[in-house]
């Protein structure tokens, strides 16, 4: 089974009810299923057997979530922001408050973003599964602008949301916000199991696949030159 470097998160809750996260390296096992959602586009009720991390292994994109500070509008004790980044599909963030439920991702510098991956499981979460999500971007909380709204229909697996600005295939921003506007069956609280943020790789890269199919972390960490 292939593995790549990812990040481990540790969270603390502060007085304003946001949960902040700090990151350090650990090993990640790749999940198997994904789906793609577009602007105002409803996903189908099906499992697509694709590896959503294939572009990372090919050196075409990089995961930049470990470069950001993550916070939530609310969370149940033990089901906080660290669950979104622990690389375990069986754990989840659970909100604890009124809609909309927010995931805030703040970068230390302006960062190119091309895709957001969200892992959900309607078969397990049912009414806790998001049915409508708003993607917003800006410099800080006070100037966020909505990029797109994504409707989900009983999603199970990875939902891939391309982030575009008109004809430009990616955006450059200090902050992303994922807002759960509604849940299936008019549920109040929500579950999200994993979130990954992709940035394009603009420099020349040398995919490992050109030299054979390597599966160890020691080989994969030399996939690109920076």
Q: What is the pTM of this model?
A: 0.72
3-state SS class at 21: strand
Output the six-digit token pair for 88. Answer: 């375990």
What's residue 226's pLDDT? 60
Q: In this structure, what are the phi and psi dihedrals at residue 181, rounded to the nearest 5 degrees? A: -85, -35
Q: Strands (DSSP E) along 64-100, which ranges?
A: 68-72, 93-94
**What are the chain's domains?**
52-200 (2.60.120.260)
**Pairing, β 101-113 against β 3-13:** unpaired
Q: Would you give the distance in Å from CA 145 to the centre of its chain? A: 19
Q: Compute the distance between CA of residue 108 and CA of residue 114 in angstroms, rounded to an integer.
A: 17
What's residue 27's pLDDT? 37
The answer to whether the CB of 179 falls within 8 A of the CB of 149 is no
The answer to whether the CB of 190 falls within 8 A of the CB of 128 is yes
Element (DSSP H or E) covering residue 219: helix 217-220
Element (DSSP H or E) covering residue 162: strand 156-162
What's residue 53's pLDDT? 73
How many helices (H) and strands (E) the chain has is answered by 3, 14
> In terms of Cα–Cα distance, which of 19, 9, 176 is closest to 94?
19
Which pLDDT tens digits describe the chain residue by residue (226 residues)?
Answer: 443 333 434 444 433 444 444 444 333 433 444 455 654 444 455 344 455 677 777 778 899 999 999 999 999 999 999 999 998 999 999 999 999 999 999 999 999 999 999 999 999 999 999 999 999 999 999 999 999 999 999 999 999 999 977 777 789 999 999 999 999 999 999 999 999 999 988 765 555 555 665 567 776 676 666 6
The answer to whether the CB of 179 falls within 8 A of the CB of 100 is yes
pLDDT (tens digit per residue) in 100-152:
999 999 999 999 999 999 999 999 999 999 999 999 999 999 999 999 999 99
Q: In this structure, what are the phi and psi dihedrals at residue 57, rounded to the nearest 5 degrees? A: -65, -30
What's residue 49's pLDDT? 44
The answer to whether the CB of 23 falls within 8 A of the CB of 107 is no
The alpha carbon torsion through 151, 56, 102, 16 (nearest 10 deg) reads 180
3-state SS class at 55: helix
């Amino acid at each position: 089974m292939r593995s790549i470097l990812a990040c481990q998160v540790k969270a603390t809750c502060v007085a304003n009810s946001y949960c902040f996260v700090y990151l350090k390296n650990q090993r990640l096992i790749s999940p198997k299923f994904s789906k793609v959602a577009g602007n105002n586009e409803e996903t189908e009720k099906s499992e697509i057997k694709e590896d959503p991390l294939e572009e990372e292994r090919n050196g075409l994109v990089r995961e930049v979530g470990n470069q950001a500070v993550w916070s939530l509008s609310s969370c149940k004790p033990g089901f906080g922001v660290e669950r979104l980044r622990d690389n375990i599909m069986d754990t989840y963030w659970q909100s604890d408050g009124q809609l909309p439920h927010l995931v805030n991702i703040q970068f230390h510098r302006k960062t190119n973003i091309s895709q957001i991956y969200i892992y959900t499981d309607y078969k397990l979460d049912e009414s806790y599964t998001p049915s409508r999500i708003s993607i917003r971007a800006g410099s800080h909380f006070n100037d966020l602008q909505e990029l797109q709204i994504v409707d989900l229909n009983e999603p199970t697996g990875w939902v891939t949301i391309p982030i575009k600005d008109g004809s430009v295939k990616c955006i450059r921003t200090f902050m992303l916000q994922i807002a759960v506007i509604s849940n299936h069956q008019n549920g109040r609280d929500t579950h999200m199991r994993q979130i990954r943020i992709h940035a394009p790789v603009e420099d020349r890269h040398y995919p490992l696949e050109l030299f054979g199919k390597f599966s160890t972390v020691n080989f994969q960490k030399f996939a690109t030159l920076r």
